[in-house]
Amino acid sequence: MSFPNVSDIVATTIQSRTRKIADNVTKNNAVFKRLDQRGNRKPFSGGNVIYQELSFAQNANGGWYSGYDLLPIAASDVISAAEYTIKQLACPVTMSGLETIQNAGKEQMIDLLEGRINVAEATMANLMAEGIYDNGIAYGGKSLTGLGAAVAIDPTAGTYGGIVPASWAFWQNKYTLSSGAITAATIQGFMNTMWASLVRGTDSPDLIPMDNVMWGLYLASLQAQQRFMSPEVGNLGFPSVKFMDADVVLDGGIGGYCTAKTAFFLNTKYIFLRPHAARDMVPLNPNKRYAVNQDAEVSILAWGGNLTCSGRQFQGRLVSA
């Protein structure tokens, strides 16, 4: 006989695995993993946009003084916020009535459901990993406003986070396109120059994701000097080597999404993953959902939020011609 409480199993099994789904998204991409390590995965609770606070200027009242000099105390407006739209991601897990009656016994039903939830996990993790490098235009403008926008090819173009970078130098990332193809002999020189342009005091890049081409060139540049590091530097769980004190990670390989011939120099202190507190890889409704004109039920896994940045000037993008 068929198992009578399949709907309850669908709901409770998905509910119990939602934290695991969120964890799988983190583990699927080195950028998400670093943000999680930094505590930069910050849920928001509501509103029609996501606000990311930032400092855009020094306090004009600061300065040297002597003896009884008057000290300026005028209001100094130095804090603002970038605005990001809320992006949504969903993946349904379905069971037809025929599948319900074909699966005799609790164990078989759970095996089928487990397989489908695994596929849903992988699907959402891959879509998030793809979105991290998007510029917010893919899928009709519905995907993440990712590094393609935060670390743009043209740092002064358009609007990012509701701020026009052409009008505000602090809101422009660094970008370098080599005049010729970067080689193993030249890549470290390009990386040195990019690194220096992003350092301010103790602020410096801490994560450098690369595609297959740039990763291969950087490794080739190290091999002659035999300067290999631990395969899991920084506990990221991804194969990595070091440049200065930043982790250099391969985000290419099979099915990788890092932009071709590109190395991103990221200071993740200023990058945040902002999921909505009520849409962080959770079922939209834990109750039964039935199709109106089909013998089927569905549970929908959902995520809502965006990737945000509070310091665009600390991010860089190196591209080989």
SS (HEC) of 19-67: HHHHHHHHHCCHHHHHHHHHCCECCECCCCCEEEEEECCCCCCCCCCCC
Task: Report if residue 270 sits inside a domain.
Answer: yes
How many C-beta neighbours within 10 Å does residue 268 have?
20
Task: Report if residue 146 sits inside a domain.
Answer: yes
Q: Can you tell me the distance from the alpha carbon of 276 to that of 284, in angstroms, rounded to the nearest whole number?
A: 13
Q: Can you tell me the distance from the alpha carbon of 181 to that of 195, in angstroms, rounded to the nearest whole number?
A: 19
Total tally of structural domains belonging to the chain: 1
Q: In the prediction, which pLDDT does 5 show?
A: 46
Of the CA atoms within 13 Å of residue 297, those in its CB half-sphere come to 17
Task: Report if residue 109 sits inside a domain.
Answer: yes
Task: Report if residue 286 sits inside a domain.
Answer: yes
Q: Which domain holds residue 179?
A: 6-55+80-319
Q: In the prediction, which pLDDT does 3 show?
A: 38
Q: For the CA atoms of 304, 131, 196, 250, what is the dihedral angle to 10 degrees?
A: 120
For residue 281, the one-letter residue type is M
Q: In the prediction, which pLDDT does 151 show?
A: 98
Contact 168, 240 (CB under 8 A): no
Task: Report if residue 65 sits inside a domain.
Answer: no
Average pLDDT, the chain: 84
Q: Can you tell me the distance from the alpha carbon of 196 to that of 88, in angstroms, rounded to the nearest whole number?
A: 37
Task: Report if residue 74 sits inside a domain.
Answer: no
Q: What is the CA radius of gyration of the chain?
A: 24
Contact 321, 186 (CB under 8 A): no
pLDDT, tens only, 233-247: 445 667 788 999 999
CATH number of the domain within which 147 lies: 3.90.1690
Most trustworthy range by pLDDT among 51-55, 168-172, 299-303, 315-319: 315-319
Task: Report if residue 1 sits inside a domain.
Answer: no
For residue 302, the one-letter residue type is A
Q: In the prediction, which pLDDT does 146 show?
A: 97
pLDDT, tens only, 112-124: 777 787 888 888 8
- pLDDT category at 305 given cuts 50, 70, 90 is very high
Task: Report if residue 251 sits inside a domain.
Answer: yes
